[in-house]
Amino acid sequence: MGQLEPVFGDVRTNIIQSTNAVRSAHAQGANIVVLPELISSGYKFGDREELEAVSETAGEGPATRAWQELADELGLVIVAGFSERADAEFYNSAYMAVPGSDPLVYRKTHLWDEEKLYFQPGNTGFPVVETEWGRLGMLICYDGWFPESYRSLAAQSVDIVCVPTNWVPIPGQRDAAPAMATTLTMAAAHINGVAIAAADRVGVERGQQFIGQSIICAATGWPVAGPADATTVAMLFADVNLEEIRSGRSWGAFNNPSQDRRPDQYLGM
């Protein structure tokens, strides 16, 4: 997993940076590589013209083509964020390049702050794809603040959730405490019995700080890599055991959090 720092508006440089990170990860044995949200473009758009200049059709634009070609060449899965142009609309999207297969695109369901000025809310639902390395799903950043996002994937027996993200500081954060984002990620992994790989970015872009602290959580909720630090580019690696994920969803003879749900008792369900 790559914790990177994109250059705003410089798609070419960001493609080089992201593909170099994938090649480095592959050389160290990675089979699935997750990269940050909007890694091809940067995040802090000032107007629609800037957005249009860096957006692309999935599988046809330079970033998604490069990721797909690299996935096919190296025989691994790449999940990376990009600004998607589709049907005259724009989406904050994640592209999953699976070697030898059709790509999967996820559009961010829950838009954060000024994203609502530029992007449409996602309309893909929460797709899951079967791969050689397990059943994979995607979320993006603020999606992780909604329990329904992870639950929608867990209901489809997802094994690993890949999360490109651009986490920002949360008001009230204490210096000695774990970041809210990493705490939520750990809790979601534990509650849903899924592994989670959340790749954040670092740096300051147009006055907006990003907090790094990328993390890989086992399905128990405990970190198996990271959190990374808050300021530097980094690579995180972890082994994920699919048999342990699937068998661990039952907590002893009497409890399974998925099967123990009581939707008939939940308000508004």
- Active-site residue list: 37, 108, 141
Token pair, residue 34, equals 């997750």
Decide if 235 contacts 24 (C-beta within 8 A).
yes
| Alpha-carbon span 45 to 166, nearest angstrom | 14
As a whole number of angstroms, the distance between CA 114 and CA 165 comes to: 15
What CA–CA distance (Å, rounded) separates 214 from 92?
19
195: Cβ contacts below 8 Å, ≥ 6 apart = 159, 160, 161, 189, 216, 217, 218, 219, 240, 245
| Torsion sign over Cα 159, 111, 21, 213 | negative
For residues 98 and 104, the answer to whether their CB atoms sit within 8 Å is yes
Say what the alpha-carbon torsion angle 120, 159, 22, 127 is, to the nearest 10 degrees: -30
Find the DSSP H helices in 114-171: 115-118, 147-154
Strand ranges in 15-99 using DSSP code E only, listed in sequence order? 32-34, 77-86, 89-97
**Residue 139 and residue 115 in contact, taking contact as beta carbons nearer than 8 Å:** no
Q: Which residues pair with 202 in a beta bridge?
A: 211
For residue 244, which phi and psi values (nearest 5 degrees)? -65, -40
Q: What tokens were used for 229?
A: 């630090």
Question: 3, 214 in Cβ contact below 8 A?
Answer: yes
